[in-house]
Amino acid sequence: AETGSLSIVLLGASGDLAKKKTFPALFNLYRQGFLNPDEGHIFGYARTKISDDELRNHIRGNLVPGKGASGEQLEEVSKFLQLIRYVSGSYDSEEGFQLLDKEISKHEFSKNTKEGSSRRLFYLALPPSVYPSVCKMIKNYCMNKSDLGGWTRIVVEKPFGKDLDSSEQLSAQIGELFDEQQIYRIDHYLGKELVQNLLVLRFANRFFLPLWNRDNIDNVQIVFREDFGTEGRGGYFDEYGIIRDIIQNHLLQILCLIAMEKPISLTPEHIRDEKVKVLQSVLPIEDEEVLLGQYDGYTDDPTVPDNSNTPTFATMILRIHNERWEGVPFILKAGKALNSRKAEIRIQFKTVPGQKQGRNEIVIRLQPSEAIYMKVTVKQPGLEMSTIQSELDLSYQQRYHGVTIPEAYERLILDTVRGDQQHFVRRDELKAAWEIFTPLLHRIDNGEVKPIPYRPGSRGPEEADQLLERAGYVLTHGYSWVPPT
């Protein structure tokens, strides 16, 4: 393991993402012994002029595990908070970043790690508009200066641009300052337990190897639903919409892991090479294979314009033009303000010739309650000879009770410290992802494709089912589709 001082710098420390996700993830890592207080410090940087203690108080509530917290737990929180220092400055201020560097150096020195290396991780929990200036400031003033090695890495959050051009421009600006090996583009879905399990499930099980293709699989559905709207984030959301917020990154990453070929090895580069190939094989999206929705009341948010054309719901079919997947629709569906909160993948197999009902299906539920289950046809128990559909069920809570499944951010931050880029988006991967969606997004932005209103708390617009019917799928029991018999 690497030694020496470790400084984790959270830029945008007073913001929402830092408070809700990043600090709690750091705290969990600390609790489990992954952040050694003898070598590490955490720095918050933001424009707000507050003291160390004010920042600590601002985030404390998200760390304490609720009402019944024990004295021991509270002490753990306090000890962790003591590791945090705050520096205030603007995102293009030379003095600000010089001061930040001074603070980091001071603590590197105080930790007596002079003999060791210096590791500096900069986490940009910031809007992308300031990425270029912040990266420049880091590059000019805050790089690791130890002669004895170490590194400087930056972690960036989506949205990485709004379309192909803006994303490429951002990549070029950051790429001039940092090597690809120093840049960690987070897609937090890649940190989810069952997303990380996908390659294992596919490639370590004999069952699936020969079946995973167009000869056997009828369709793949990747579904994200949330039972709340844009609450408080209307301004951000309206600029991006559900495709940029969820589909172009989270759902597309899942599609890659389902569809990719077996990588040459499990190194990050080989895995990402295969993902890029899948993305490059996706055909242009046809307007007839897209259905957009916007929930009633979405524009009531004062930060959203009354005539907003932004979709909060989308169903679409993606088609992968290669030997394995030709003709198999990948149905992607995402929506806010629906009737439930769920993210799952359904892989539906073709029917067995001569068998009228009952298709095999593998369902991988990412949340809530992680599970993998397979729908199988079995004989109805009893004297009669009839068949029923049943399930082979691996529900994580039952099978692995007592095991805590780490939060996505926790895992991904640990990866950035360890230098493992497998679960991060590579530059060419990002580009290929934008290439798929940019033409459609421009048609939406121009008002050529419009969202259909739907009732909050519903399943989304009914027209979405009709879209699937047209593609030859009819709706059965709520959430899954089967082709008409």
Active site residues: 250
Measured from the CB atom, the residue of 226 and 429 that comes closer to ligand BG6 is 226
Residue closer to ligand BG6 by CB (options 207, 228) is 228
* Least CB distance to ligand BG6 at residue 188 (A): 6
Q: Identify the CA nearest to 85 among candidates 111, 112, 104.
A: 104
Residue nearest to ligand BG6 (CB): 245
Q: How far apart are CA 21 and CA 87, in angstroms?
A: 20
User: Is 484 in a helix, a strand, or coil?
Assistant: coil
Q: What is the 3-state secondary structure (H, E, C) of 398-420?
A: HHCCCCCCCCHHHHHHHHHHHCC
Other beta carbons within 10 angstroms of residue 38's beta carbon come to 9
CB of 353 to ligand BG6, least distance (A): 39
Q: Are the C-beta atoms of 472 and 340 separated by less than 8 Å?
A: no
Distance CA 201, CA 347 (A): 13
Cβ proximity to ligand BG6, 157 vs 289, nearer residue: 157
Q: Would you call the peptide bond into 284 cis, given omega within 30 degrees of 0 as the criterion?
A: no
The C-alpha angle with vertex 234 and arms to 313 and 167, in degrees rounded to 5, equals 75
Which residue's CB is nearer to ligand BG6, number 34 or number 236?
236
Angular region, 346: left φ>0, alpha ψ -120 to 50, beta rest: beta
Residue 151: in which H helix or E strand, if any? strand 150-157
Q: Which residues bind ligand BG6 (CB under 6 A)?
A: 226, 245, 343
The first and second tokens of residue 293, run together, are 């929705």
Calpha distance 106→416 (Å, rounded):
23
Nearer of residues 16 and 296 to ligand BG6, judged by Cβ: 16
Name the minimum Å distance from CB 343 to ligand BG6: 6
Q: How far is the CB of 326 from ligand BG6 (least distance, A)?
A: 31
Minimum distance from residue 245 beta carbon to ligand BG6 (Å): 5
Distance CA 238, CA 298 (A): 9
Shortest CB 243 distance to ligand BG6, Å = 12
Nearer to ligand BG6, 58 or 336 (CB): 336
C-alpha triplet 293, 299, 304: angle, nearest 5°: 110
